[in-house]
Structure 1
Amino acid sequence: MTLPFDPRERPYLAALIAQARYPLGPPITLALDRSDGAFGELATLLTRHNGLTAFNAGLQVFRAGSEGMGPDLQKWNDLQTWKHTYEGLADGLLCFAQDLFGVQFALDNDAQVVRFDPETAERTALGDTLEDWARWLLADPDVRGAHAFATSWQDRHGALAHDQRLIPLRFFTLGGAYEDDNLAVKDAAQCMRIRGPLAQTLYRLPDGANFQMTSTPPPSDPDLLSHHEFDVFADYCTVLIQDDDARLGEPERSWFDLLVDDWINTAPGIVGIGAARPFKVPFTVDVRRTPPAEDDTELQQADHVTQASLALPSGRLLISSQDFGDEPRIPLTPGNYAARIYSHGLNTLSEDALEGEDRYHVVLWPTDEDHPALVLKRYPEPLPGG
């Protein structure tokens, strides 16, 4: 076996390669745009061993070229493969490897080797050379290279394909566990595209924002994926629950008339709802795996309940009154959802309707069914705020 590096000079990198499986692609002579430092080491590594896996596929170093198994280095780093979903947070990185959960290892503009967290976009410097990177990995391969989990997972579920990674259904940063029922196998690039909106939300959340993500789901609701609490300004007593890329524009007056009458109406990528007061009002948003139970106790308790379908192709949910500023975006898996809105405390308003303890609870769940805008339970008196 020919090693690309002298074990006496780079013992950790040589040890990593010695226990790896390779190649993932046919022989290639690789020349990168840069040849200094770790860039030169990477070109040498892939020229000798074009892609490899280690730690029972807990670590994958991408191949180069149009043929082979798993991601191609150039295509993987193309903006449209997955980096566009991070909107600049992954710029300036040449990602050359990843672990079982899609944690990226990359070279930055300073030729440093960094670890890129796919859920937070946080960069952690690991050193100036691939030798530093290999030393870091080998110090704890079960955790840093996902060796132990990769072995146990594949023993139970079978081998992953080279273009597949594991992704949590409830994101790790939102309290998701490293357990079988919280993990799914998906295409590696899709895993990154799903988490891009989450990274944007966490990165751009303004200091002091009233935005909470629960660390664990309540024991009584194991299907809860994420929980969020914040205040929203209900301009003209209306609020939009929408895809971050959707815009209401200038709808017909009848659109707002129906919204005032029923507190529910829809437009592409938008669900409009009513609120009792034209001020900041408290919202709770729960994202679930499954719809509410048939014996929905909150439906019985709430004053007014509505429901509609909502398309979220961007994977970023925004709740606002057409104000697209610092409101936090809630990250979800892109797709189609149903939204059920529970309005509480409508009978607590002051005589001038300026004060009250009204609150609003939005529950979303993925669905392939089309849910027309409808009132599930109507407030017995005229709806306030009209």
Structure 2
Amino acid sequence: MPADVELGISFSALRQWVVRTGGAIALDGALRFFPPYSCNALPGLAVWNEATGWKKNYLSLTPIDLVIFAEDAFGTQFYIEESGRVGIFWPETAEREPLSLSVPQFFETIADDPEGTINISLYEDAVASMGPLKLSEHFAFRLETALGGRPSLDNLIVMDSSRHMAALGKIAVQLARI
């Protein structure tokens, strides 16, 4: 069954973007779009959005209802609402930040300002220092920014993306209890 049917949302614009970017990545891997089906070591939309995957670590904060369609190399998640508008899911705090952007506007915003949107220079510095990421990995902050860590090269490690998201879920739950 196609992922768009399972998720109840049409992803034709996302499919077009995946085709245009040559396989679900953009900006040399700094931005990843989950394809309709798992490919190239990148999970498909339905797989990444499973409630029994990384999302289960968010407990009552769980973003089960969010359809995550993209992420940056640091684990910031981007979701699409039923209305077709895009939002940011900050995984270390479980906060949702709705944006007033359609999917095409989201793509344009990232392309126009990759520094301000996905911190492209930190990504490029990390790749130069630590090597390119596998599609199944993130650059994770040793000390998350929500806990006072700095978004800097000396605060980064390479981590499996599912394990990273699970760890961030546990941090979000702890922060919510403060």
1:95 aligns with: 68
- Root-mean-square deviation (CA), in Å? 2.4
- 1:104 is aligned to 2:90: no
Structure 1 gaps of 5+ residues are 1-28, 206-327, 329-386
Matched AA of 1:201: Q
User: Distance in 2 between the 1:111 and 1:100 partners?
Assistant: 23
Matched AA of 1:127: S
2:91 aligns with: 118
Match runs of 1:1-386 below 5 Å: 32-33=4-5, 34-35=8-9, 39-46=11-18, 51-87=23-59, 88-202=61-175, 204-205=176-177, 328=178
- Name whichever of 72-81 and 127-136 sits farther off: 127-136
**CA apart distance, 1:147:** 1.7
Residues 186-223 of structure 1, C-alpha deviation per residue, up to 9 Å, x if partnerless? 11111100010221233x34xxxxxxxxxxxxxxxxxx
**CA apart distance, 1:66:** 4.1
Distance 1:161 1:109, change over 3 A: same
User: Distance in 1 between the 2:39 and 2:159 partners?
Assistant: 21
SS in 2 for 1:114: strand
Distance 1:151 1:128, change over 3 A: closer
Say whether the 8 Å CA contact 2:40–2:135 is kept in structure 1.
no
> TM-score, normalising length from structure 2?
0.85
User: Distance in 1 between the 2:170 and 2:3 partners?
Assistant: 33
**CA apart distance, 1:49:** 6.0
Greater relative contact order, per chain length (Cα 8 Å cut-off, separation 6+): 2
Matched AA of 2:51: L
**CA apart distance, 1:161:** 0.8
SS in 2 for 1:69: coil
SS in 2 for 1:32: helix
Distance 1:67 1:133, change over 3 A: closer
**CA apart distance, 1:132:** 1.8
Runs of 4+ aligned residues of structure 1 deviating over 3 Å after TM superposition are 43-51
- Name whichever of 132-141 and 90-99 sits farther off: 132-141
Matched AA of 1:60: R
User: Distance in 2 between the 1:139 and 1:157 partners?
Assistant: 26
Q: How many residues align?
A: 175
User: Distance in 2 between the 1:76 and 1:135 partners?
Assistant: 24
User: Distance in 1 between the 2:56 and 2:154 partners?
Assistant: 29
Higher gyration radius (CA): 1
Identity of aligned residues (%): 28
Which structure features the higher share of helix residues? Answer: 2
